[in-house]
Chains A and B, each alone.
Chain A
């Protein structure tokens, strides 16, 4: 029984991180119709950025958060302006943008490899091992903080999208870019902004992950695929759907340890990805164009 509670608690804590990763990916897809494979690379880059700031400047990862998020945002805008902007969007540009951003991911991986070698790293702080008691289990302080930030940031972003002009412009472009051009919204700027925001969330998720898990230049690929699971399950632009889907994924992963050999639990996310995609054939994000 206590085991089940432990697993539930760790699932909830992990779900926050999944939600943050997925929200960024879903935002970019929802507005630009581009599947951002470079998301994985930015998650990895965020982890290294936090690690470098911690090592070189002694900056606490939670203090370096704004820096890493801002840096990822700039990186995202740069990738959009320099590369993605030049491709056709939507179904026609699907394979092109996928491959292009895949190339970006490979380059990011290689840069990390050149700078930091292929060794595993992790960010260790004074509070890394602290924990507080909760429901008969111990909650690591760091996990709680990660959960809190990972939930708060997408939530805040979601509110911004609802209540600011820029947010409304983004949502309008997601629905119909052509009409937006007609009413004078600068669609290109909205795209750049959206790509930047999505990428910033990837950087955030990467930094937070780095305080929990070890990472190397290949880090991010399974995080990317887990983000897909969440986006597919949860639907686009729904913060509640994203949260629930993240919780489902994290729970399935956590509880699978009860029925599967430990080694196989890492395959659970991938299997879920295939199953979820196949069971929702109408489209990745649950929308279906009706005839």
Chain B
């Protein structure tokens, strides 16, 4: 049974359907990449699954429990945590305090102490020496780590990562990709990641889902997806598929 399942999710803004009937099934312990052109509805899909937005129709299930319609903090309590594409640290708190806020949920779940859990997670993402600093003093890569640590500290079963790698230099991108893999391998957290950096998606993902105009147009292993004519067409425009795959 999939750990996270979205069933015919629809979100309309006015007349426009940003997400238009998406089905998604995420297996326990996998890394699922979500790709698609700009405006394909990826971030909206995340917002629906994380409870930031209520779907127009459709449902989301976590471990067979319906979480759609719950408010964001209840979805977090249920076990889904998200990061934001544009990082949103609490600027008035230190790195450790940022993570401690989230660790209050995670600690309640695991029976550990919030501060201890926060310290562990901060060390895990590699920010132990910056724990007492304010996020504003960190580089973008550092702030993305804070964002990641905060989501992780809630003790999620499923982590929704919105472009944690995009915008970083190659060395940093490499390190963060490694971190994402460790989150799955060492902490057993299932990961769904939106990513624009194709190399990272292809290297990290067990499976990839492709969104275009709010619909899922393809799904499969990275190798299958890149050969899919619909995907090529979505990225390169109609007609291109025919040229690439005569």
Contacts and interface: CB of A to CB of B under 8 A. Distances in A.
Interface in A239-291: 290-291
Interface string B3-44: 000000000010000100000000000000000000000011
A290 to B, nearest CB: 6
Nearest to A291: B47
Contacts of B232: none
Contacts of A291: 43-44, 47, 52-53
B60 to A, nearest CB: 16
Interface string A110-149: 0000000000000000000000000000000000000000
A262 B16 CA distance: 47
B52 to A, nearest CB: 6
Interface string B35-77: 0000000011001000011000000000000000000000000
Nearest to A290: B13
Interface residues of A, number: 2
Contacts of B44: 290-291
A291 B47 CA distance: 7
A290 B52 CA distance: 11
The binding surface of chain A is classed by DSSP as: loop
Contacts of A290: 13, 18, 44
A291 B46 CA distance: 9
Contacts of B47: 291
A49 B127 CA distance: 61
A88 to B, nearest CB: 12
A138 to B, nearest CB: 46
A247 B52 CA distance: 36
Contacts of B53: 291
B224 to A, nearest CB: 30
Contacts of B18: 290
A290 B44 CA distance: 9
A290 B41 CA distance: 11
A290 B11 CA distance: 12
B223 to A, nearest CB: 31
A290 B43 CA distance: 10
Nearest to A92: B91
Contacts of B52: 291
A290 B19 CA distance: 13
A291 B50 CA distance: 12
Interface string B148-189: 000000000000000000000000000000000000000000
Nearest to B43: A291
Nearest to A288: B13
A291 B52 CA distance: 9
Contacts of B43: 291
A110 B47 CA distance: 50
A235 to B, nearest CB: 15
A55 B196 CA distance: 70
A291 B88 CA distance: 13
A148 B18 CA distance: 45
A291 B53 CA distance: 8
A66 B167 CA distance: 54
B75 to A, nearest CB: 14
Nearest to B52: A291
Interface in A5-59: none
Contacts of B13: 290
A290 B39 CA distance: 12
A290 B17 CA distance: 13
A290 B47 CA distance: 10
A261 to B, nearest CB: 41
A290 B18 CA distance: 10
A130 B171 CA distance: 81
A291 B39 CA distance: 11
A290 B46 CA distance: 13
A130 B5 CA distance: 74
A291 B44 CA distance: 6
A106 to B, nearest CB: 28
Interface of A: 290-291
8 contacts: A290-B13, A290-B18, A290-B44, A291-B43, A291-B44, A291-B47, A291-B52, A291-B53
Given A290-B18, A291-B43, 4 more contacts: A290-B13, A290-B44, A291-B52, A291-B53
The 5 closest A-B pairs by CB, nearest first: A291-B47, A291-B43, A290-B13, A291-B52, A291-B44
